[in-house]
Structures are given as C-alpha cells and as structure tokens.
Amino acid sequence: MGGQYRAGAAVVPYTRRTVVTALAMPLFRLRLLLPLVAALALAACARSTKPEVPPALAAPAPVKLKIGLALGGGAARGFAHIGVIKMLEANGIHPDVVAGTSAGSVVGALYASGMDAFQLQEAALALDEASIRDVRLFSGGLVQGRKLQDYVNTQVGNRPIERLRLPFAAVATQLESGRRTVFVLGNTGQAVRASSSIPGVFEPTPIDGKHYVDGGVVSPVPVDAARELGADLVIAVNISAQPDGGNPDGMLGIVGKSITIMGRQLGEQELARADVVIRPALDPIGAADFEQKDIAILRGEQAALAALPAIRRLIEARRHPAPVHATGKPAAPPRR
C-alpha cells in the first residue's frame, strides 16, 4: 500500500518499506549516540565531584583552672615560702587554694587571709622570735605554742579558717591515732599551732579532747590537702633539709632532721602527686636560723624563678587543651 509524505515543497511517493526505513534511521543513530551521551554524563559528574573536606577542628573553650599551693614544713626555712609567693605573684600566677604544714601553715594562713607577698615579707622582717616562743619547763615540750596561736590570729584579724579570703588547710598529726588531720574550719591560730607543734620542742596542742603535733610527721608537704581543697594543679614547695652526713645543731635542728628522716618515704610519695615541685636551695640554713630570713626569702625567689617555665607550660596546657575534630576524636599532632 503506497502513500505520500511531504518533504519541503516536493511530494514524494512512498511505500510501506519506505516508511519502515524512515523510522529505523533515527533509532539507529540514537543507538550510536548513547555511548557518547553516557561518557559525557560521567565526565560531567566527575567534574562536579568536590574533594572530601576533613572534619573541622573544634576549639574547646578555655578551662577554668584552680591552682593550689602546698607549703611544706621546715621551721625557720619556711621564710623561703614568701620568696616563692613573691615570684609567682610577680608573674601573674595567683593560687586559688593554700595548704600548709608546720612553718608552711604559718605562711599559708597569712597569705590566705589576704596578705600579698610584700605584706608577708614585711610581717616576716618585723617578726621577733620571742613574740612566738613561750618557753615552759616541766611540760610536754619546751614551748607551749599559745604565743604562736595568738600571733597568727592577730595577723588574720581573728577570723576563723572558713572566713579567710582563700580556702586554707592546716595539716597536723593526731597524737592518739597517728592519723593525718586536715583543719579547714575553726580557730585559724589554733590550727596553725597544732600543725607546728614539733614533738619534743612544742607541747602537743589540745583540741576537743585530742592532742595534735607537727603535720610533718605524716605529710611534710601537703599536696593531698591542696587537692582536697579542689586544686586542679598543685605547686608544692619542699623546704625540708635533706640528710647530708652532717651533724645538726641544737635540739630544733636534731628534731627537725629526725622528722624529715621519718617522713621521707611518705613525703616523697605525696610529692610525686604534685604537678610542680619547687625546692629552694636552703643549705646551710638550719631550722633555728631565724636571723637568715632575707637569705631564705631570696632562695625562695630564685627557686620559683627557675620553675616558672614548667609552671607556665602546665597552666597553658590545662587551660587550653588540644583541639578535637568535629567527630570527637583528638586532633593528630602536626608532622615535623
């Protein structure tokens, strides 16, 4: 059966074969074009694919850090604590909590009361040994300790421990049980007296039916007490005399060195829990050398100055921890 189809203005006769051929030609050409179209589509997709972006680093907010100061015992060598505090304050490092043992509790209580380093130094230079030593014979010790208690209470404005400007702890040893006792409430001067009652030199301090002696027997440098006050980073100051083969002078020196020897292993274990340990070079200053206050303060300044780089690094690392990926994983250290 024939027919016609119009191509332009001409009329062309057609048959069934002509129609089939005419329809088949576009389909044949389409089959030839399909691979090309597919290749072009793949190429377009490849061009539009973006490189994988690593997860963003999340910068953590700065951490509020509570710095603790643990001041050890050492009688007259305790003036070195003032030098340490002077250097810390001069470099913008202000402890938030303070713990003290023996001589460290004296300096610590005054500092926690609100005195700055220079006020501490003025008080130290004005201190007359006779004003804190009340000798009494035929008792449990040569010194009663009441004068020391009154001196501290006067310096802190007769405020109890809980009303001092900074949280404060005085560490003593309960004589009946031998246990460590941490005073964080109550009479400030009495707590310091208990913490400073060197056995054989001071009478034991009676408090609520119990008796207390020097905290250096169980905690020569009160790192743990500073932690218990909430410190995140503890700066410990160890002023105890190390056995050097020499013979200590006087009863105070003998007793002080004996306490150091007894508490050495325990003290080293506690010191290991500090973040930074400052050890002023105080030899040959003895436990009874109150006339060498200036030298002890200077040695404290020098030791703190040497420790400043380590203290700053730790504070920076704790306040600004390493950034983490958005996935929660820590960022990998940079390649060197």
Query: 207: which strand partners?
Result: 210
Which of 96, 102, 113, 224 is catalytic? The answer is 102
CA distance 72 to 102: 7
Q: Outline where DSSP puts E strands in the chain.
A: 3-7, 10-14, 57-58, 67-71, 97-101, 168-174, 180-183, 205-207, 210-214, 233-237, 276-278, 324-325
Q: Which helix (H) or strand (E) holds 44?
A: helix 16-48
CA distance 336 to 68: 35
Between the two ends of the chain, the Cα-to-Cα distance in Å is 86
The DSSP annotation for 172-236 comes to EEETTT--EEEE-SS-HHHHHHHHT--BTTBPPEEETTEEEEEGGGT-SS-HHHHHHTT-SEEEE
Which of 196, 197, 214, 289 is catalytic? The answer is 214
Going by C-alpha positions, the residue among 331, 282, 304 that lies closest to residue 79 is 282
Look up 275 and say whether it is catalytic: no
> Residue 19: which residues within 8 A CB-CB, separation 6 or more?
3
Residue appearing with tokens 């310091």: 192
- The three-state secondary structure class of 309 is helix
Look up 214 and say whether it is catalytic: yes
CA distance 168 to 166: 6
Residues designated as active site:
102, 214
